[in-house]
Structure 1
């Protein structure tokens, strides 16, 4: 098929790669514009932009798709379908209508649960037992369109957003290839009105750990916010990010370090911190972290 690909972050890259490998004709790749990054604050192409250039594909990165000129340029590509995954711009109706088969979105949740910007984070933080990928026919509403295909995956007790992100990205790549191969035979399933929830964008203010919460909630927050923005604690004026944890037995005052293995008491129960990061330092496993920063038994985080 003649495909317009629309995506921006690392999550979208495997999808672009598999569409090319499957033999689809990529008419153009749309992504967010390069933005300043790194110490020199030089414009840096997005992961999709960089991969598209590597593959020799045409790249477009308009700041908006609202102008008649941009919409006409999009329509002139005469695409069979647009594949959209974490693109980052709202698509006007003229864009949604331009391809022969419209625009298909790869969404990282089991719709209608977790519509919106941060479905992977929210699923872990809420304690969901599973999540998945939906291939959705896009319409004007926020992730409200009918679903063509869906596939579930369990959320494990050690899954972080980083781990689940990579797994769902690969799942989405496989599922969109299947959807395109069977497109004429698929029946779109209207999303039910019951069970709708919204995965609001993560606010950095959410990332501070409240040790008075139950251990299950603390553990889910640590894993759900890893690696970004990273749940954190403040100790002696220094911020420490907590990037991996597990539930363990233990009791004490909330925030109290209970042993030399970084077991920390919560409102009920305890968590063991497995991976941490000091400001300006690389992330480290707990045993290596403790060599550079002692957190003896009785320390209050």
Structure 2
């Protein structure tokens, strides 16, 4: 049984935390501090924080660790065999990377060296990749540049969303990191060819630009929270699919509704008004009009 710290924040990291708690001694859990969320902007703990408390584990939520000698000393004082990191959200300095006896392992949601960085799941969908996967790597100072220990591929099906891919990858990460700790496999240096970077996602990345082709927009809608404007309203576009049709980009072609794109058209399947419920397009259009012949900006 290894003495370890777990460092992660979102839902993706929770299966790994639970698996490690069942198999090893988790002496501390590091995650992002509670932040305002939701309509009331109430202080809300991240999923890993909530799971750790449920398991009775000690939780630490430093706002920063890179240049904080007290945090470095506290981490070293844990006397760790290893630390496991999964979408933690903070960059670890050398003092922390080198403190555990077996170093720090990262559960990364891509087949490295493809999609190093902050948004590997979304980037794989956006690019139309045929597969994604999980890589267990030994961490170093570079951005996801460390040597690889284990990798496992997961196919990306034609209509798969980022949420569905996330749910497929999370248990793979939990299983692989247990194997890496048990087997301590030899490290493999990442090849320099095939390196791509997954940038941090912003809200504006989800804005629909009807001048793009329908296939590209379909990937964007499956990858990101997307929206478009109609008059004074901002509407969330939750699901769509490529369809036959042509016209000026943004033109509402019919009552299905199909919207003309730079190439082809999109059939809108599920939408949401601000403050409203997500609805199938047929139900949504009973209370909201998208008149054929109008052009969306």
Shorter-chain TM-score category?
A: over 0.9
- CA gap of 1:170–1:291, structure 2 versus 1, over 3 A, is farther
Deviates more, 1:76-85 or 1:260-269: 260-269
Q: Which residue of 2 aligns with 1:254?
A: 249
Deviates more, 1:62-71 or 1:144-153: 62-71
**Cα distance, 1:44 vs structure 2:** 1.9
Q: Tell me the TM-score normalised to structure 2 length.
A: 0.94
User: 5+ residue gaps in structure 2?
Assistant: none
Q: Which residue of 2 aligns with 1:51?
A: 51
Matched residue pairs, number?
Answer: 294
1: CA distance, partners of 2:283 / 2:167: 26
**Cα distance, 1:205 vs structure 2:** 2.4
1: CA distance, partners of 2:38 / 2:156: 33
Q: 1:190-226 CA distances to partner (integer Å, 9 max, x unpaired)?
A: 111111111111122222212121111111111111x
Q: Which residue of 2 aligns with 1:286?
A: 281
Alignment of 1:73-88 (within 5 A): 73-88=74-89
User: 5+ residue gaps in structure 1?
Assistant: none
**Cα distance, 1:39 vs structure 2:** 4.0
Alignment of 1:227-238 (within 5 A): 230-238=225-233
Q: 1:111-144 CA distances to partner (integer Å, 9 max, x unpaired)?
A: 1111111111111111111111110100000000
Tell me if the contact between 1:158 and 1:245 (Cα under 8 Å) persists in the aligned partners.
no
**Cα distance, 1:145 vs structure 2:** 0.4
**Cα distance, 1:19 vs structure 2:** 1.5
Q: Which residue of 2 aligns with 1:201?
A: 200
Q: Which residue of 1 aligns with 2:138?
A: 137
1: CA distance, partners of 2:200 / 2:124: 13
| Secondary structure at 1:101 match in 2 | coil
Q: Which residue of 2 aligns with 1:192?
A: 191
Deviates more, 1:288-297 or 1:191-200: 288-297
Q: Which residue of 1 aligns with 2:216?
A: 217
Tell me if the contact between 1:160 and 1:244 (Cα under 8 Å) persists in the aligned partners.
no
- Counterpart check, 1:272 vs 2:270: no
2: CA distance, partners of 1:203 / 1:45: 21
**Cα distance, 1:60 vs structure 2:** 0.8
The RMSD of aligned alpha carbons is: 1.5
Q: 1:214-260 CA distances to partner (integer Å, 9 max, x unpaired)?
A: 111111111111xxxx2211101101111222222222222223333
